[in-house]
Amino acid sequence: MRKNLALILLALSLTLPGFAKQKSPRAAGPIHLSRDGEKWAEKTLRKLTLEEKIGQLFMIWCRAGFLNVENPEYLQWRDDMQKYHIGSFAMTVHVDGPFLLRSEPYEAAELLNRLQRDSKLPLLVAADFERGVSMRLQGTTVFPHAMAFGAVGSVEDAESFGRITGQEARAIGVHWNFFPDADVNSNPANPIINTRSFGEDPKQVGDLVAAYIKGAHEAGMLTTVKHFPGHGDTATDSHLGVASVNGDRAHLDSIELPPFRQAIAAGVDSVMVAHVTVPALDADPNHVATTSPAVVSDLLEKQMGFKGVIVTDALDMAALTHLFAGNIGRAAVESFKAGNDLLLIPADLDASYEAMLKAAQSGEISRQRLDASVLKILKMKASLRLNESRTVDLNALATAVGKPESIAFGQQVAEAAITLVRDNGKVLPLKAKGTGKAGFPYMTKEETHNNTVAILFSEDVRLDSGRAFGREFRARITDARVIYVDPRIAGGVTDEVLKAVDQAQTVVAAVYVIPTAGKVGNSMSMADSTGALLGQVLEHAGERTAVVAMGNPYLASDFPKIENYMCTFSNATVSEVAAVKALFGEIPIRGHLPVTIPNVAERGAGIARAAQLAQGGSSNAQN
C-alpha cells in the first residue's frame, strides 16, 4: 500500500506543474536574504527567457473577493499572468462609484493562494495598506490616518502600527506595503497628501517613518517610502494632472529629502517615485520624476545610495499618461530607463509589455540593466522565503488577524490624537443625558427635544462617514437631532438645518474632508454648498457650536468664526468614536498639531483637557 502511494505521488510530481515544489504554508518571519536564497535568485535568473524577465518587472491589479475558478475576472488575471509572465500583483478590492467594497480576510487569502499555485514563479503581492489592512478588508485592525500618529508623536506607536499591519498583511498573503508615506505636508492646499502624511516637520516625519519600517520588518513585511522626491509641497492631484515641486535644491535638501534619507538608513526595501515635475532637479518639462534619470539614477541611487527596489507610482495616472498619449507603452520604457525596477499598474499591459520587450531586443535596454532589476526582484522574493513556501495557512487567520489587543491599540491611538485647537469655554465638554426614554423608530422632528443638534457634513450621505459618530452621539443623548448633509442636498435642507440650530442649546458640526485620489475637481476645501451651510450655522450659533474636523485639519482657515475647534486627522471609525468620547469629556485631550493651520494655530499647538471627573464637572489645563 505504501509503495503504491509513493508511486502515485511520484507520478503526480512528474505530471502536475509545480506539484513537487509546493510546501506547507508557514508563518512569516523577519525579512532575511540567506545565502541559499541568493543562490535561488541567481539560478532562477539564469533560467529565465527574455520574455519572462520582462514579465517579472510588471505588477498588475488583483481585486480580492470570492471568485469561482471559472469566473471571467479570475481567468483574465491567470491568463495575463501566464501570457506576460507577471511577477507581482497589487491587491485591492472592487469599487462601485464612491463605494469601496471591502472584502473578507479568508476570501482574500484563498484567492492569493490560488494565484500563487497557478504561477510558475512565486508572486510578490503588494497592497496599499496606509491605514492598515482595514483599508481593504473587514475584520482587521482599524487605524487612523498617518497624521493622527503625528499628533501623538510616539515612535513606539508608529513601530506598533507597522508591526500589527505586517502581521495581518502576511497572514492573508500580502508581502509588501506601499507605505510609509515620507511626504512632508508643507502645503495646506495639497489635495492628495494631507492626512496621509505624518506632518510638516521633516525630522518628526522621518522618525515615524523609520519606526514604522522597523515594526513592519519585525513582522516580515516589506515597506515602501513614497512619493519620492516628495509630494507634500504640491497643489495638484497627480492622479488627475501634473503636480510640480517648485522648491530649489536647498529647500529639497532641508524639507523633502530628509525623511527619505532616514528611511534608507532604516533599511527601507523600496522607494516609490512620484509623477511630479521637479525643476530644481530636472528642467525638462517633458520629464516627471518617474521618467527622469536625474531624479532616479543620479539623486536616489548615486547621491543617496539607495540599493533596493525602485518602483514607479501607478503608470495609469493622468500625470504620466498624458505625456505618452500617442504611445502609451513608452511610459514603461522611459520609466525603466530612468532607473525604476518595477513597473506598477501599466495603463495598457499589452502595449507596455511589448514596448519593453522591443526595447530589450533592440539593445535600447541592455541585458545587464535588465538582469540587475530582475535579480533585485527575485532576491526580494527570496528574502521572504517565497522560494520555499509561497502560500499562507488559512487556518491561522483566526488567531493572526483582528486580535483584540490590536484593535484596542488602534482605538487608543485615535483617542490620543484628538487635538483641541480652540475652546471658548461655553460648549465643551458636552453633558450626556444617560439612558433616555425609549422612542419610536420613526418619530417626527416635532417629537424630538432638539436641544442638541449634530450636523455631519460628508462627501456623500450614502457613505459610512458619520454613521459611527451618529450612533455614538445618540448613545449619550438619545433625543439628539443628528442630520446628515452632503453637497447634493445641502441647499435643500438649509432652512431645516438652520431652524434646528436656532432652537438648539448646543450644536456640533463634524466635517468629513479627506484626500481622495482621482476625484474630479479634487480639493481639500468643503464643497461650495456645504461650506456655505457651515458658514451660516456659525453665523447663527457660532459661540455654541463645536466644529470637529474629521480629516483635514486646515479646515478652520476657511471659517474664522469657529470658536470651538477639534481635530481628529482621520475619518476612520476609531476616530469617530474617539471624537465623541472627547466631546463628552470621557477621555483626556492631549494631542498636538503636527501641522500649522494658517491664521489659526502653529504646529505643536493643542489645548489639554483632563477627562471629566464626574457628571457635570471637568478638570481643565492648557499648554
Residues ≥6 apart with Cβ < 8 Å to 63:
73, 91, 92, 93, 94
Evaluate whether the domain defined by 27-399 bears CATH number 3.30.420.40: no
- Tally of CA atoms within 13 A in the half-sphere of 417 that contains its CB: 39
Alpha-helix runs per DSSP H in 311-403: 318-321, 330-338, 349-362, 367-383, 397-400
- Tally of CA atoms within 13 A in the half-sphere of 133 that contains its CB: 35
Residue 199 and residue 231 in contact, taking contact as beta carbons nearer than 8 Å: no
Where along the chain do its domains lie?
Answer: 27-399, 418-583
C-alpha span between 197 and 351 (Å, rounded):
34
Name the residues annotated as catalytic: 313
Record the pTM: 0.91
> What is residue 622's predicted lDDT score, i.e. its pLDDT?
37
Cα dihedral 284, 285, 290, 295, rounded to 10, equals: 40
Residue 146 and residue 182 in contact, taking contact as beta carbons nearer than 8 Å: no
Strands (E), 252-333: 270-273, 276-277, 309-312
Alpha-helix runs per DSSP H in 105-201: 105-118, 146-152, 155-172
3-state secondary structure of 586: coil
Buried b (16+ CB within 10 A) or exposed e, 560-593: eebbbbbbbbbbbbbbbbbbbbbbbbbbbbbbbb
DSSP string of 565-581, one letter each residue: EEE-S--SHHHHHHHHH
> What is residue 241's predicted lDDT score, i.e. its pLDDT?
63
Q: Which three cell numbers stand for residue 82?
A: 501566464
> What is residue 150's predicted lDDT score, i.e. its pLDDT?
98
- Cell numbers 512620484 label which residue? 274
**Nearest-10 crossing angle of helices 155-172, 404-417:** 140
- Cell numbers 506576460 label which residue? 84
- The CATH architecture one would assign to domain 418-583 is 3-Layer(aba) Sandwich (3.40)
Residue 499 and residue 483 in contact, taking contact as beta carbons nearer than 8 Å: no
Q: pLDDT tens digits, residue range 120-146?
A: 999 999 999 999 999 999 999 999 999
Q: Residue 133 carries which DSSP code?
A: G
φ/ψ of 181, rounded to 5, equals -85, 115
Cα dihedral 466, 511, 192, 234, rounded to 10, equals: -170
Number of H helices, E strands in the chain: 20, 18
Residues ≥6 apart with Cβ < 8 Å to 565:
420, 421, 422, 423, 546, 547, 549, 556, 600
C-alpha span between 136 and 117 (Å, rounded):
23
Q: pLDDT tens digits, residue range 510-522?
A: 999 987 654 444 4
- Peptide bond before 592: cis, by omega within 30 degrees of 0? no
3-state secondary structure of 388: coil
Q: Which ranges of the chain have pLDDT less than 70? A: 1-24, 26-27, 235-241, 434-450, 516-523, 613-623
C-alpha span between 10 and 15 (Å, rounded):
9
> What is residue 447's predicted lDDT score, i.e. its pLDDT?
44
> What is residue 220's predicted lDDT score, i.e. its pLDDT?
97
